Structure 1
Amino acid sequence: MEMSGLMSVLLVTSAALLFIANGQSNYDMLREVDKKHVDMAIRYANKNSEFQKNKKEHLNFFQLLGQPEINGREFNINLLLKATECTKASSDSEHKHHPECHFKSRRPYINCVVCSKDFHDSTDPYIDCVLQKDVKKQDDIRHNKCSPLQHGGYSILALRDKEDLQTGCLGCF
């Protein structure tokens, strides 16, 4: 009986350690384009960490939420960060994913979104990070900033009749 209790504790501890280390291996499996945007979120969250209890803890990539969307010139990536045992770096260039840092337990997840409506202008995307429990409050803002653009097409307002064409005035076609 005593041996099976010890085995149960060992099994639970092993599973917990595997779960904690999971985010570290997930980062290595990301595509380079996704790593670029994840690193942007890590930099942003570590510089703007007003939502953290202990502002000296480094935030690291934990996992992606859903699949990153890259369509033509647009991208949208949603991810979770979590506080680690590592101390936050002092310079911007050091705010990146550190695989050697272990996640702290009992710390809230930080939900980040990185998106741009112009993939080629991904140097200045929209980045937003909030506590996971506060995501609902940001839904409207995130939707407005990250929803795909309407790319042309016909609408009833864009249609013109040939008889409506005028000549001789500014702005007329």
Structure 2
Amino acid sequence: MAASLLWLLGLGALLLPSDAQEAYDRLPQTFRKGVDLALEKLGSHAGIQHHFLFFKSVAQSDIEPGFGVVFVYHHFYLKATKCPKGTTDSTSCQFRNDRPMIDCAVCYKTFEGEIEQEPKPYVHCVHKPALTEEMKTTRVNHCNTLGYSSGSPTLLASTGNAEK
């Protein structure tokens, strides 16, 4: 009896969709591009052993000065999964709870929905426990400079979406 109940619970867990992918799928396309950029950069590090996925947004903002241009700022967390690094189909990857999250901030300019190479997109990711106030200040200053260098208002002063 107990064995069959355990088997049914295990089968039910396999049939549940991954919460990991749902949070990413709810993001607007403009913000997904920044998450993809951060995941690409993170995946290129030799010390990373696990597959990471988007976990949740901390803050997001965007400014549309016009003519198809959008400046984007996104602060979010990535979380390790039980899948190995290099996994291509992450639909069955479940989050690990024994690893620290990675805190990321990205800012970039898009033109007609595509990330522009100038000014260079800014991606800063660090394990959450190692994030310092100085790093946070550097992020804000860099992203504000990105907007100013292009003659637009500051990204972090916009009234975009913020999630906590």
In structure 1, how many angstroms separate the alpha carbons of the residues matched to 2:128 and 2:116?
24
- For the residue of structure 2 that corresponds to 1:106, the secondary structure is coil
Aligned-CA RMSD value: 2.9
Deviations 1:24-50 (A, max 9, x none): 211111112221111111111121365
Q: TM-score, normalised by structure 2?
A: 0.64
List aligned pairs for 1:1-173, cutoff 5 A.
Answer: 21-48=18-45, 50=47, 55-66=48-59, 68-72=60-64, 73-89=70-86, 94=88, 98-116=90-108, 118-120=109-111, 122-123=116-117, 124-136=120-132, 137-147=134-144, 148-149=147-148, 151=151
Residue 83 (structure 1) shift: 0.9
Structure 2 residue ranges without an equivalent (≥5): 1-8, 65-69, 154-164
Structure ID, larger Rg: 1
- Structure 1 vs Structure 2: percent identity of aligned residues? 27
Comparing both chains, which one has the higher relative contact order based on Cα–Cα distances under 8 Å and sequence gaps of 6 or more? 2
How many residue pairs get aligned? The number is: 125
Structure 1 residue ranges without an equivalent (≥5): 1-9, 154-173
For 2:91, give the aligned amino acid.
P
For 1:149, give the aligned amino acid.
Y
Which has more strand, going by share of residues?
2
In structure 1, how many angstroms separate the alpha carbons of the residues matched to 2:152 and 2:125?
31
Q: TM-score, normalised by structure 1?
A: 0.61
Change (3 A) 1:152 1:102: closer
